[in-house]
Structure 1
Amino acid sequence: MRLRFFLSSPGDVADERTFAQQVIEQELPKDPFMRGRVGCEAVRWDDPAAPVAMPATLTPQEAVNRGLPRPSACDCVIVVLWSRLGTPLPASCTRPDGSRYLSGTEWEYEDAIAARPQPHILVYRRRSPPELGDPLDADYDERLAQYRRANDFFKRFRNADGSLAGGFAEYDTPQEFRDRLRVDLRAFIQRRLDSEQANGQTVRVNAPPPYGRIAKALASGSAVPIIGPGICRSGRPGDEPWDPDAPRFLPSGNELSACLADEAGFPSQAERDQLAEVASYYEAFKTRDALRERLRSLLAPAAPDKLAVPPLYSLLASLEKPLLIITTNYDTLIEQVFRNAQKPYDLVVYSELKELGNAVLWWPHGALKPETVAPNELSIELEKKTVIFKMHGSIVPQTSDLDTFVITESDYVELLARIASRSAIPALFASHCQDRNLLFLGYSLRDWSFRTILQSLNRFFAKRLVAGDDEIQSWAIDDRFSELELKFWQRRGVYPYEVNLDEFVRLLRARMSP
């Protein structure tokens, strides 16, 4: 289960905010009762993990535009107040009746209260009197006004006769707050786990991805993007079909499968979208060379510069820190984008060509011809160089002789066998992933590529789950996941988020921009 906790408070309770984040992201996931069952994330609009600081004048709508989740989109909202209510929001941000919010904290609380269904809401108040300073100080009146506004906030929790209309908890010290919050959140999570078990349902994550955390991981070079076939839906008009005779963008897996099925006379209408089966049929009733030639003509058209490019590639090419980028796509669009951006990179390609044995093809940056290297003998300084690893082969623009495709069922069986014998993926890459955030983009359980990725990372997932390590998070992004896919990801400690890939990149770029 994946839970998000929104932290709402003014700046006078900084200690409480720090303690809350520690409880949520460090203590609770390692609690023996929750380890391996719950992932917790603290959401705060002043997130110190973000690569770019958020301006103090950020309005709620501006925050949402930057990909930050609203309080109402989280599972639990935690409000903490003491001597301040906070800075009033601008006149452009008002309630439906036209009245202004006295602070962002007030807006966050009311956003949560108005949600249907409501998130779990916890309100805390430090009761020790604040030090307001000398009445002669120039800002004394403002400090006093803030204290009065904070007191007035709690009037909404009482009825006209003075009885309580809603609950809040009081505490004396930040440490006392920490202890109380730990107990309250543990009880909340226990109820959620009990409810999930009783319903037998997989919980879908309605909140947006943690853009700040993902942006920081990419900007620091600590993330490994793993790009699947779904990226082909990115950067193209949603309602325009792919035309193999005059392509404006590359085909999706289903479109490529349908094209090959038509040409080969594939007999099953129900399985025309199963690319591995269709490619196997094409190879059997034509030849392997014919399949390779047709794939090259479809995936490397005469005018590649005119093809629509997934925005993700441009974002990755703009990053300063070196990255290991893994892709299961055969086309060369990502290399084209990196060249156009004058971003140096090494290219490593898995090869199914029998004459190369178990070697991978390696083009050091600027090389015209590849070196053939045994996977476990590859030596690249990943801390200094960006590397694109094409795990299922690639078109080689210079010569069709080196084109390689893992596309038929027998190709995938061979790849899985080599993964099992540790002769497919360079050991250098496998060890690099051990302490990195993995970012899966555009993968579906229906794809063979998804299964090979899972197989190659099974040891990695097992080690993290045994360790109960939620500090190095991994994420999966796609338009939609099936119930089975959600369970697959969640049981491997990967947090799945359902969001359009183009929208994901747009909001991620906004978090990385000044």
Structure 2
Amino acid sequence: MRDSDWARLIDQLRTGNCTPFIGSGANDGTLPTGHELSRDWAARYGYPFANDGDLARVMQYAQTVIGDSVALKQRVGRELEDLGPPDFTAPGEIHASIAQFPIPVFLTTNYDDFLVQALRDSGKEPNAAICPWHEGVPYDRDLFERGAGTLPDANRPVVYHLHGSTRTPSSIVLTEDDHIEFLVHMTAARAQNNRHVLPPIIIDALANRPLLFLGYTIQEWTFRVLFHGLIRRYPAFRRRRHVSVQLAPLQDDVKQGAELRAKEYLDRYFDGWEVSVYWGTPREFCEELEQRMEDGS
């Protein structure tokens, strides 16, 4: 990221004029990454293919072994909840860092409620909602049609769980089939302006504000579905400059000695979509953000 990117982003954060998108990398050190979780479950169930780091495919296989998708999601949810929350007071802790800003809408593809906890710790009254990407997930009509979700603000922000929550295991987007069904419902909802799946305030946060992606890798299904299948469909996306805090490409996906060329290619690719890339962990990003704010950048 250039200094001009930092200056613009800091101003947007201070004024609440951006939409953070929180991914699994934000939980580094607290919960396993998608790659780690995938390898673990692949070993448990004897996944027979070479791509045992692909969580969606491994979980698709695990579902066929278990024979019940909700039972699989309940088990995954329980194991993640048992690991507990992060230390919100730790330097560079992403949830606490981002919660301090006057942002009205936060989007996340994580299943945990760490962001809600951090917002409450900062003195706010967040409203959490789950995206009803299939008919079995209830739509919070009171929140989005009569309550604080009609016009969220810095003190009463909305945290929208696009990929479900451990509070409602059936809402979790986990397998390949889930990701495909999620994408189909999201694109249909956008085209039909279906308030049930994407409430107007969420569409506005996606389409009309610069986005800050935190904790994704370009290889993972979650990011590919969001970036290629959903967000890029909004014409306004290319009229704003966005920021993505990207974890370095996994070594398994890059030839030895080609790491620099891989990053250069990805920088050019993202730049074509008006996305500035910070290469590093969310914790490293937050530490640099805090330092630049102290220095008056």
For the criterion TM > 0.5, the same-fold answer is: yes
- Structure with greater Cα Rg: 1
Q: State the partner residue of 1:20.
A: none
Q: Which amino acid aligns with 2:290?
A: R
CA gap of 1:351–1:298, structure 2 versus 1, over 3 A, is: farther
Q: Which amino acid aligns with 2:58?
A: V
Q: Considering fraction of residues, name the structure with more helix.
A: 2
In structure 1, stretches of 5+ residues that fail to align are 1-204, 237-248, 365-372
- State which of 116, 119, 123 in structure 2 corresponds to 1:342: 123
RCO higher in 1 or 2 (8 Å CA, sep ≥ 6)?
A: 2
Q: Which amino acid aligns with 1:458?
A: R
CA gap of 1:416–1:339, structure 2 versus 1, over 3 A, is: same
CA gap of 1:415–1:443, structure 2 versus 1, over 3 A, is: same
The answer (yes or no) to whether the contact 1:227–1:442 under 8 Å persists in 2 is yes
The answer (yes or no) to whether the contact 1:352–1:411 under 8 Å persists in 2 is no
Quick one: distance in 1 between partners of 2:142 and 2:45? Answer: 34
Quick one: distance in 2 between partners of 1:497 and 1:208? Answer: 12
Deviations 1:338-375 (A, max 9, x none): 2333321111211355434xx534785xxxxxxxx79x
CA gap of 1:209–1:362, structure 2 versus 1, over 3 A, is: farther
Q: State the partner residue of 2:93.
A: 311
Q: Which amino acid aligns with 1:381?
A: L
Q: Which amino acid aligns with 2:283?
A: D
TM-score, with length taken from structure 2: 0.80
Q: State the partner residue of 2:60.
A: 280
| Alpha-carbon shift at residue 276 of structure 1 (Å) | 0.2
Q: State the partner residue of 1:63.
A: none
Q: State the partner residue of 2:161.
A: 390
CA gap of 1:348–1:420, structure 2 versus 1, over 3 A, is: same
Quick one: distance in 1 between partners of 2:199 and 2:270? Answer: 24
CA gap of 1:489–1:363, structure 2 versus 1, over 3 A, is: farther
Give the aligned CA root-mean-square deviation in angstroms.
2.8
Deviations 1:383-424 (A, max 9, x none): 45311111111111xxxx555210101101111111221154
- State which of 445, 448, 457 in structure 1 corresponds to 2:231: 457
The answer (yes or no) to whether the contact 1:226–1:327 under 8 Å persists in 2 is yes
| Alpha-carbon shift at residue 504 of structure 1 (Å) | 1.4
TM-score, with length taken from structure 1: 0.48
The answer (yes or no) to whether the contact 2:17–2:103 under 8 Å persists in 1 is no
Q: State the partner residue of 2:198.
A: 425
| Alpha-carbon shift at residue 490 of structure 1 (Å) | 1.8
| Alpha-carbon shift at residue 378 of structure 1 (Å) | 9.6
Matching of residue 222 in structure 1 with residue 1 in structure 2: no
Quick one: distance in 1 between partners of 2:77 and 2:283? Answer: 26
Q: State the partner residue of 1:475.
A: 243
Give the aligned length. 269
What are the within-5 Å matches in structure 2 for residues 5-20 of structure 1? none
- State which of 246, 264, 267 in structure 2 corresponds to 1:486: 267
Q: Which amino acid aligns with 1:474?
A: H
Q: Which amino acid aligns with 1:415?
A: F
| Alpha-carbon shift at residue 312 of structure 1 (Å) | 1.5
What are the within-5 Å matches in structure 2 for residues 215-364 of structure 1? 215-233=10-28, 236=29, 249-268=30-49, 270-286=50-66, 287-301=68-82, 304-305=84-85, 307-308=86-87, 311-319=93-101, 321-352=102-133, 354-356=135-137, 359-361=138-140
Quick one: distance in 1 between partners of 2:42 and 2:284? Answer: 32
What are the within-5 Å matches in structure 2 for residues 17-416 of structure 1? 207=2, 210-233=5-28, 236=29, 249-268=30-49, 270-286=50-66, 287-301=68-82, 304-305=84-85, 307-308=86-87, 311-319=93-101, 321-352=102-133, 354-356=135-137, 359-361=138-140, 379-383=149-153, 385-396=156-167, 403-416=170-183
